[in-house]
Amino acid sequence: MAIEIKPSICGICPGGCAVKVTLEDGKLVKVEPHKDAPYANLCIRGRHAPEIVYSPHRLKTPLIRTGERGEGKFRAASWDEALDLTVQKMTEIKANHGPQAMFSHSGRGTFEQSMVRFYNMPNTMTNKLLLPFGSPNISGVDSLCYVSYGIFAPMANFGLLATNLSPDFENSNLIIVWGTNPITDSPPFIFKRIVEAQKNNKTRLIAVDQMRCDIAARADQWVGVRPGTDGALILGLLNVVINEKLYDREFVEKWTLGFSELSDYVQNFPPQKVESITRVPAETITALAREIATTEGVSLHTFTGLEYSNCGVQSIRALYILWAITGNLDVRGGVYLTAPRRPPQDEFPKPAGILPVGADKYPLFYELTGSAQFMEFPRAVLEAEPYPVKGLLVIGSSILTSYPQPKIFEEAFRKLDFMAVVNLVMTRDALFADVVLPSATYYETNSYQRYPGYARLRRRVIEPIGQSKNCAMIMTELAKRLGYGHLFPQSEEDLVEKAFAGNPALLKKLQNSPDGVKIPAPERRYKKYELGLLRSDKKPGFPTPSGLVEITSSLTAKHGYDALPVYIEPVEGPLHDPELYREFPLVLNTGARIQSTFRSQHLNVPGLVKYQEKPHVLINPLDAAERGIKAGDKVAISTRRGEVFFYADVTENVLPGQVEVNMGGGNPTQVEAWRQANVNHLTDFSNRDPISGFPVFKALLCQIKKA
């Protein structure tokens, strides 16, 4: 038996962790962390890679539907037949209804770096294959994830993206982690940095979260907040900081716009009142505000957790404004800023004369992402509003497990003239497709991976399983048949060469360095706004229209939204709807990740399912006892939208009166308990953040009873 051990990049998710793989006669049998290489890591999913790669559920040939939509009856087809049929149907839709009648939706399965660089839109990661086709209706997971935090809030405040704001943990005296659990990140490199800061510098760590998640359990202090009320808590902190004059007066006077309006507005949020909204004690609010304002070097790590309330964008804005006015922006140990990157030269122009679906209802979303808001897709298909949509291409995503009230989306799928899905395994979306195209894992493809200060090539470890193909090359094949293949890389080799076209010497080095190459980091300079290092005109200030940190945002105001970072009480919550609260007296949260899954993936892999065989609802012992529920009991969770069965995890990690329900269930290859547990039958299609259009996943009302 021929045994080989090679350095590699994990091929299970786009995280890019450095690993060592063992091959027996060319078959992947074992994966270990590559401890000598930078960015070494191995999560349990990475450890189970052989089981994932060789899963019997992998799609091995293209498929063409033979039964009714949703029935799951297909026949195997050749690539030529499946691609030709896809292009024929797309062309018919274009001829009969116009190019805008074709829609695409791309997901987390398309975030591998070469896909992001050549096939996706910069910043949003939305696949752009349909732009040269003439359709503006490109969409993706940015319709319900990341861009409130990643684009809208930081652009409104600072004229920057979240990728231009990074916590300077290594020099911090205090780290605040707000509404996120970096331990379950893929990869968990942020978590590792926090642990190092705690160990090396004895840095204090505070976690603000609706539940005592893993990072909160490791923190010096956990501040438990009622779901959906983070915005009120932040305004309460601002109230203390402003009224006690703890803010950085010089920064505020010189570099901010709208401070006096904010000072007036936060008078509505004294700590006692905020306690009644958030359930955080007034003295905790006052102490936390003082600690943030008086500690030198306070870094902040937040992510998408705050997005899913009725004021997600504005709450994230308020959080970063707190950091700005307390003197923690672009200082040692605070939130470090970098200048915006110029977009790549080879961007495709947007189709002229027609706006994407959702642009009418969510104009800021359209201005900043350039894409369609997929939450409006059913309206277009079912009501022809603002115009008819007839075709859908789903690339590396699972719409029916991730969007609220999936029955609405299923109804839209049934009405389509054509639907194609690209994925590794049969998803519930794919059951509705006319054509299913099998993609390969990253262990089966050639590409590259850039990290901060480091780069390496991704070298194919095993041949693609069955007839599966690199998703990037599936896109190229479709583009070729649509007549614009020349706009994309022609092969994996071409893709790697194009990626390093600006630095062929680096590519040469990478080709000769299986463990990658270090790249010198740029010099670190603080207070860049004073030095003219943030704006393209090189003037001091921020790249906002006013050149200042816009506490009153011209960007939000331009589209008719509040200029101030205002708070909106959860629309489906105990204070706003007490009558409903009597019927559904528990606050429902969804979305927290578990380690054995990657979103809805891997619940078909026995070695991973054994870590958590059943979907859980985390419920406080008081709420469980009141309902006669014990740990492990099967329970029925109901909302106004429906009822789904989960299994009780009775724990003090959630506060009384609120529950956390696992997401990810509902796909056909998953084990029975998970397959039946799609939490989104409980969530609400209509209840959204008015700016982003994101569904309110984290502040709904439910009831639970023993099944």
Interface residues with ligand SF4 (CB under 6 A) are 10, 12-13, 15-17, 41-43, 45-46, 186-187
Nearer to ligand SF4, 139 or 601 (CB): 601
Residue with tokens 């350095």: 7
Distance of closest approach, residue 437 Cβ to ligand SF4, in angstroms = 23
Give the integer Cα–Cα distance in Å for 631 and 623: 12
Are the CB atoms for 108 and 598 separated by under 8 Å?
yes
CB of 284 to ligand SF4, least distance (A): 34
Query: Can you tell me whether residue 65 is helix, strand or coil?
Result: strand
- Beta carbon of residue 10, minimum distance to ligand SF4 (angstroms, whole number): 3
Which residues partner with 211 through β-bridges?
654
Instruction: Give the pairing type, strands 616-619 and 643-650.
Output: parallel
Which two structure tokens, joined as six digits, stand for 580?
């409903």
DSSP string, 544-589: STTSSEESS-HHHHHTTS-SS------TTSTTT-HHHHHHS-EEEE
| Residue among 13 and 183 whose Cβ is closer to ligand SF4 | 13
Decide whether 337 or 608 has the Cβ nearer to ligand SF4.
608
Chain centroid offset of residue 329 CA: 24
Smallest distance, ligand SF4 to C-beta of residue 598, A: 7
193, burial (CB in 10 Å: exposed 0-12, middle 13-18, buried 19+): middle
Q: What is the DSSP string of 593-641?
A: --TT-BTTBTTT-HHHHTT--S-EEEE-HHHHHHTT--TT-EEEEE-SS
Question: How near is the Cβ of 580 to ligand SF4 at its closest, in Å?
Answer: 40
Compute the least distance from the CB of residue 142 to ligand SF4, in Å.
21
**Shortest reach from residue 13's CB to ligand SF4, in Å:** 3
Complex with ligand SF4: residue 42 or 637, whichever CB lies closer: 42
Residue with tokens 């004369």: 353
Provide, rounded to whole angstroms, the least separation between the CB of residue 57 and ligand SF4: 17
CB of 37 to ligand SF4, least distance (A): 13
**Among candidate residues 257, 251, 242, 253, the one with its CA nearest the CA of residue 293:** 242
- Tell the smallest beta-carbon distance from residue 441 to ligand SF4 (Å): 10
Residues in the chain, total? 707
Residue with the shortest CB distance to ligand SF4: 46
Instruction: Give whichever of 21 and 311 is closer to ligand SF4, judged by the CB atom.
Output: 21
- Shortest reach from residue 113's CB to ligand SF4, in Å: 12
Cβ closest to ligand SF4, residue 110 vs residue 544: 110
376-381 contacts, C-beta under 8 A, 24 or more apart: 376/693, 377/103, 377/105, 377/139, 377/409, 377/412, 378/408, 378/409, 378/411, 378/412, 378/685, 380/103, 381/412, 381/415, 381/416
Q: What angle do CA 41, 190, 214 make, to 5 degrees?
A: 90
Which CB, 18 or 392, lies closer to ligand SF4? 18
Q: Which residues contact 385 (CB under 8 A, 6 or more apart)?
A: 379
Q: Which residue lies nearer to ligand SF4 by CB, 33 or 690?
A: 33
- Smaller CB separation from ligand SF4, 99 or 109: 109
Q: Which amino acid, residue 518?
A: K
User: Residue type at 484?
Assistant: Y
CA 685, 397, 59, 184 dihedral sign is negative
SS3 95: helix
Please identify, using beta-carbon distances, which residue of 366 and 443 lies nearer to ligand SF4. 443
